[in-house]
Amino acid sequence: MTSIAIHLSTAVQELLGPDNTRQVTGTSLAGGRCQDCRSPLPLHGPVNVVVWQDQDSVVIGFTHPDCGTSQVRLLPAGTLATAAPAAVPMQLAAVLQNHGSRALPVLAVQPVLQAMTATEVGGPADRNILVGALAAAGMTTDIDFVRAPEPLLSWPVTITPAGPGKATICVRMPSGHLLVDGVARLSPAWRDAANRHGRCVLYVGYGLWDPDIATPDAHSLNTQAKDVAGARLRLLGATRRG
């Protein structure tokens, strides 16, 4: 097994504690991006661990060695609780998934980084800060992956061509905070279903698929994932053909 070179400074290790330090050093870097230059991270490192901390919570990220050292970066109180999605980089997939008798277009989003409450620093990570922020914005945690989630939201969504079979997908929350802005493979069947229904299903949470899978499909989604928020999004003409 190839080891991953992940460096944590003494200050970061003391803040996180031994359990979270071990968890961070075992994190897959697949799909991750440097938090300073936004370029992809090398799969096997080396990378430095950066922790953003406000009064209530912390978010863990990675930087290239040339971009920044391993350090704790302090933020104003409440920053991460109110803007957690914008603070946590995401992986994005667009798949067709059966909900009952219908194949619905799904946007599945999972964080690359972890968010935890300050009370849990030094102990097991509490990942629900992100899901809690999304639920407060109108999504639901009552998810079974069989029925489409009940909330129908009108969050700003734009979908624009990004090359053959791909699209740039941007979703913002009502506050204006960016939830996700990334490129995903978008099949003609997904586009057709989105145009037909005028909406899509959005799932955001942890463990939705193996982060090492570059292009997830409906069979890749983990329907047993627990830390997930869901909703239906009106697309309002968001899909545009190239």
Tokens coding 230: 């869901």
Select the more confidently predicted residue: 173 or 69. Answer: 69
Does the residue 239 lie in any domain? Answer: no
| Cis-peptide, bond into residue 211, ω within 30° of zero | no
Question: What proportion of the chain, given as a percentage, has pLDDT over 90?
Answer: 38
Does the residue 242 lie in any domain? Answer: no
pLDDT of residue 115: 55
Instruction: Round to whole Å and give the CA distance between 4 and 7.
Output: 10
Tokens coding 49: 């661990």
Average pLDDT over residues 136-154: 93
Task: Give me the domain span that covers residue 219.
Answer: 6-234
Summarize pLDDT for 85-125 with one digit per residue, the tens. 555 567 889 999 988 788 999 999 987 665 555 444 444 44
Number of domains the chain contains: 1
Lowest mean pLDDT among 13-22, 36-45, 120-129, 212-221: 120-129
Query: What is the widest separation between alpha-carbon atoms in the chain?
Result: 54
Lowest mean pLDDT among 56-65, 130-139, 195-204: 56-65
Does 167 have pLDDT greater than 90? yes
Instruction: Round to whole Å and give the CA distance between 62 and 57.
Output: 17
pLDDT of residue 125: 45
Question: What proportion of the chain, given as a percentage, has pLDDT over 70?
Answer: 81
In whole numbers, what is the pLDDT of the chain averaged over residues?
82
Select the more confidently predicted residue: 215 or 46. Answer: 46
In single-letter form, the type of residue at position 39 comes to: S
Tell me the CA distances in angstroms from 168 to 30, 65, 123, 191, one per residue in order: 19, 28, 37, 13
